[in-house]
Amino acid sequence: MAELVNVGKADEVAPGHAKAYDVGDRRIAVCNVGGTYYAIDDVCTHDGGPLDQGTLEGDQIECPRHGARFDVTDGRALTLPAVQPVRSYPVQVEGGEIRVELE
């Protein structure tokens, strides 16, 4: 059963940036793409690098370690060396709070 979890305030994540939050046993990167928020696991599927420390350009985030790129809207791996997607999560923003839907 899905559960909405408050992870932080919307104004903590500036447009064009990502911020990682610890949610239970997961580390989730919330990405602000032009005022729309997306959430993905904050772990590169290539080598476990922290995606929130990478560059967010449009709807793509680049791992700072080896340059793998992911689509933050759905987690797809877009470039090598990553071939596996990262998990993505539905996001809602209510009353300035970012809420991520976890299973």
- pLDDT tens by residue, the chain, 103 residues: 689 999 999 999 999 999 999 998 999 999 999 999 999 999 999 999 999 999 999 999 999 999 999 999 999 999 999 999 999 999 999 999 999 999 8
Considering its fold, how many domains does the chain have in total? 1
Cβ–Cβ < 8 Å for 58, 65: no
Residue 14: which CATH number? 2.102.10.10
Structural domain of residue 29, as residue ranges? 3-102
Regarding pTM above 0.85, the answer is yes
Question: Do the strands 3-9 and 97-102 form a parallel or antiparallel pair, or are they unpaired?
Answer: antiparallel
